[in-house]
Amino acid sequence: MNKFLKAGCLAIYSLALVGLFTALPFGAERPLCYAAVILLGAHALEALVMFGHVRRYPGSLAVSLLLALLFGFLHWGPLRQQRGGVGERQWRA
């Protein structure tokens, strides 16, 4: 399911990019551009709010931020479920 949602995000971004340079059927250029800008804005806010979880990515921070901008919750959601990461308190009895 996660891969289908990520593919949907990439489809919106790529169709919006194509729509900047050529006409799309049914005049879909403007709605797709708006959708892409709204998605990027929402994902940028998510990356800021959930930065502690975005930092858990095993690769570089720049790659993790890029993935968070592209996919939002689909990127940092699985990172949030990891145990013992940055920002998570270790409770001892």
- Rounded distance, CA 40 to CA 78, Å? 19
Contact 37, 67 (CB under 8 A): no
Could you give the CA distance from residue 17 to residue 13 in angstroms, rounded to a whole number? Answer: 6
Residue 83, domain member (yes or no): no
Q: How many structural domains does the chain have?
A: 1
> 67 lies in a domain?
yes
pTM of the model: 0.75
How far apart (Å, rounded) are the C-alpha atoms in residues 21 and 18? 6
Q: Is residue 49, in this structure, part of any structural domain at all?
A: yes
Which pLDDT belongs to residue 84? Answer: 58
Q: Is residue 89 part of a domain?
A: no
Would residue 84 count as lying in a domain?
Answer: no
Query: Quick check: is 8 in a domain?
Result: yes
Range of the domain at 12: 2-78
User: Is 86 inside a domain boundary?
Assistant: no
Of the CA atoms within 13 Å of residue 55, those in its CB half-sphere come to: 10
* Residue 93 domain flag: no
| Distance linking the first and last C-alpha atoms of the chain | 38
Share of the chain above pLDDT 70, in %: 88
Checking if the pLDDT of 92 tops 50, the result is no
